[in-house]
Amino acid sequence: MEDKGTKCAHPSCQCDAQEDSSFCSTYCEGQGKTADILCSCGHGHCGESRMPEGAE
Ligand SMILES: [Zn+2]
Ligand SMILES: [Zn+2]
């Protein structure tokens, strides 16, 4: 079996899902049913739209 390319089940997430989950993180697992505009799972390459540096 090749599980390569298993994507996170979150609609807005572009991360790879964990081996034991359909999501990449607990964040997506909680937001899995919410089709948010952009993912905030915390992974660097994900949701890097317009993130202000050093500001929140
Ligand atoms: Zn993500
Ligand atoms: Zn995710």
**How far does the centroid of ligand 2 lie from the alpha carbon of residue 14, in Å?**
6
Percentage of the chain modeled with pLDDT above 70? 68
Ion ligand 2 residues within 5 Å by Cβ:
8, 10, 13, 15, 24, 28, 41
**How far does the centroid of ligand 1 lie from the alpha carbon of residue 41, in Å?**
5
What is this structure's pTM? 0.65
Q: What pLDDT is stored for residue 17 in this prediction?
A: 93
Alpha-carbon distance values, 22 to 5, 42, 56 (Å): 12, 17, 29
Q: What pLDDT is stored for residue 48 in this prediction?
A: 62
Q: What pLDDT is stored for residue 50 in this prediction?
A: 53
Q: What pLDDT is stored for residue 56 in this prediction?
A: 44
**How far does the centroid of ligand 1 lie from the alpha carbon of residue 9, in Å?**
10
pLDDT digits (tens, 9 = 90+) for 21-46: 999 999 889 886 777 678 888 887 78
Q: What pLDDT is stored for residue 54 in this prediction?
A: 54
